[in-house]
Amino acid sequence: MALPLALSGQDLIGQARTGTGKTYAFGIAMLQSIGKPRKNRKKPRGLVIVPTRELAVQVSEDLVTAAGKLGSRVLTVYGGRAYEPQIEALKAGVDVIVGTPGRLLDLVKQKHLDLGQITSLVLDEADRMLDLGFLPDIERIFKLIPAQRQTMLFSATMPGEIVSLSRKYLNRPTHVRAEHDSGEGETTPQVRQLVWRAHRMDKIEIVSRLLQAEGRGLTMVFCETKRACDMVAEQLDTRGFAVAAVHGDLGQGQREQALRAFRNGKIDVLVATDVAARGIDIDDVTHVVNYDCPTDDKTYVHRIGRTGRAGRTGISVTFVEWEELTRWKMINQMLGLEFAEPEETYSTSPHVYTELSIPEGTKGVLPHANRSRAGLSAERIEDLGETGRSRARGGRRRDEREERPPRTPRQRRRTRGGQPTEEVTAVDTPEVELMDSRRRPRKSEETPAIITTDEIEAAAEPRRTRTRTRVADQAPVREPAVEQAPVREQAPVREQAPAAVAEAEPSFLTPPPPPVRSEPERIVPASPFTVIFQSPDLATDDDDIAPSAASERQQQRRSRQRGNNNNNRRRAG
């Protein structure tokens, strides 16, 4: 329905269920309007704006397939990878650009991309771009494109904000809606939907049994947060399933590696956030699991739309917790479903096995005999020159970990005065070797150094230690007797290499002198209870000593007693 209108050059608003071929509807019309490639095609003439990186890759692959006979060049630009390959492709010339709004504006700002010759513009999944906050970027892109153009908006759902945007920037658009009369949010009829009320701690057990159902193909598990994605993927990996995660905290190379492994069948379970719920078309997806309840009806429609595509059938299972029951009732009412009161379900409930065709006696761990998938590690990760984070916060999983190479021992070279010991002239001195062997054991052969008698005497002196006691209380220290070499035998050493002795620095046998610090004299009393500090006496001989509180009270008592005695005497007289 939309293809004849798009080929005629009219502005178009296309709305259809997910999996009905919206990409080819606008792709064929755009390639046909652009025509054969020009000789001078430095500036692109077709532009497709998508909300996510994964959708950009998929749309560009579909356009390349459709433009195989025309020879049109299609370039994909999105964030998370290096600018240089994209800039070089723009300099070589392209016909159609598929990208996200942020990277498109970055290239325009750097003056590597010129949108002055765009004749056809497509907004794919326009409602999702509105949810992600791309509306200001889209309006900025509209201002960079010529007014004489063809604009097409395609999405599975069309909220009121997108309709107002189309009225502002589209020229008398035609609204094509390939839906039934029951409503705009109608789900795919080929998908059998199951909604269960489950406990948070038991959902992973139900998923583990669901993944062992008969006839199950590829499965997508949707979570609400990135942390939940990592948790579910890690637990399924420990249970023996070939699983990978896709969310915003992963680098672009890892996200594309996971999607390639999922398409190629090296893994059969993909745990993702809503970043993979829009437009991702993968064959043989038989089951979709909403591990967390969707936030609204549009999210639910797009999630379960990953299965049952192009006439196939599929199964969707949605878990609703007790606190999410109100939210689900709103979704159920908006879509007109029959699951207002989900059935309470546990991993041991009999209807789980019957409705999903799970063999009796199946446990939550995949048997070793059924672990035939190659896993994520079998898919090569592509070096994209990423500009963002390279991996998830929780670290690599078990199959991604690599063993560390053995640590090479460090090679240390003995130096003296900043020069290797091989360059210093050495003379055999048996006396020095004898002293060196007494002081410390020698582990390896060392080149003997030229040492004078003064250095030997300085090395033989005992090192002074710092104590906290007074000098007067210290016991006299006896110096140990050290055998000194006779002067007659050391004289030839000085005569053999006088220049080396003069230029040599202090030997390693001589310990460096301790730093001299001027500290005040400390008073260390003999008893720890002795007062070591006394305030100076500032009183003079003429000053009276101030009485204490106790003495004042005693004086008051005495004066009272004297007054009482005087009164008694007067009364008696």
What are the tens digits of pLDDT across the range 49-70? 998 888 888 888 888 888 877 7
What pLDDT score does 51 carry? 87
Do residues 71 and 155 share a domain?
yes
Cβ neighbours of residue 109 closer than 8 Å, sequence gap 6 or more: none
Do residues 55 and 130 share a domain?
yes
Question: Across residues 454-473, what is the average pLDDT?
Answer: 55
What pLDDT score does 428 carry? 45
* pLDDT classification of 199: cutoffs 50, 70, 90: very high
Question: Which stretches does DSSP call E strand in 381-539?
Answer: 415-416, 419-420
Percent of the chain at pLDDT above 90? 31
* pLDDT classification of 514: cutoffs 50, 70, 90: confident
How many domains does the chain contain in total?
A: 2
For residue 408, being part of any structural domain is answered with no
Nearest CA-CA partner of 449 in 470, 428, 472: 428
Pairing label, strands 218-222, 285-290: parallel
Cβ neighbours of residue 21 closer than 8 Å, sequence gap 6 or more: 310
Do residues 72 and 102 share a domain?
yes
Is the pLDDT confidence value at 354 over 80? yes
What pLDDT score does 194 carry? 95
For residue 326, being part of any structural domain is answered with yes
Do residues 43 and 124 share a domain?
yes
For residue 9, being part of any structural domain is answered with yes
Domain boundary among 178, 203, 231: 178
For residue 16, being part of any structural domain is answered with yes
Do residues 169 and 195 share a domain?
no
Domain that holds residue 126: 2-178
Do residues 304 and 208 share a domain?
yes
For residue 530, being part of any structural domain is answered with no
Nearest CA-CA partner of 33 in 57, 10, 64, 1: 10
What pLDDT score does 160 carry? 74
What pLDDT score does 438 carry? 47
Quote the distance between the C-alpha of residue 427 and its chain's center. 61
The predicted-structure confidence for 160-173, as pLDDT tens digits, reads as follows: 777 777 788 888 88
Question: Across residues 529-537, what is the average pLDDT?
Answer: 59
For residue 84, being part of any structural domain is answered with yes
The CATH number linked to 30 is 3.40.50.300
Nearest CA-CA partner of 73 in 41, 101, 100, 28: 41
Domain boundary among 358, 377, 396: 377
Is the pLDDT confidence value at 188 over 50? yes
Do residues 160 and 199 share a domain?
no
- From 306-320, 344-358, 522-536, 554-568, the region with the lowest mean pLDDT: 522-536
For residue 484, being part of any structural domain is answered with no
Do residues 151 and 261 share a domain?
no
Do residues 173 and 250 share a domain?
no
Do residues 283 and 346 share a domain?
yes
Residue tagged 């499965």 (tokens): 219
Better-scored residue on pLDDT, 35 or 185? 35
Is the pLDDT confidence value at 186 over 60? no
Domain boundary among 152, 178, 204: 178
The predicted-structure confidence for 474-493, as pLDDT tens digits, reads as follows: 445 454 444 444 444 444 44
For residue 368, being part of any structural domain is answered with yes
Is the pLDDT confidence value at 7 over 50? yes
What pLDDT score does 325 carry? 94
Question: Across residues 275-280, what is the average pLDDT?
Answer: 74
Do residues 262 and 234 share a domain?
yes
What pLDDT score does 283 carry? 79
Do residues 149 and 99 share a domain?
yes
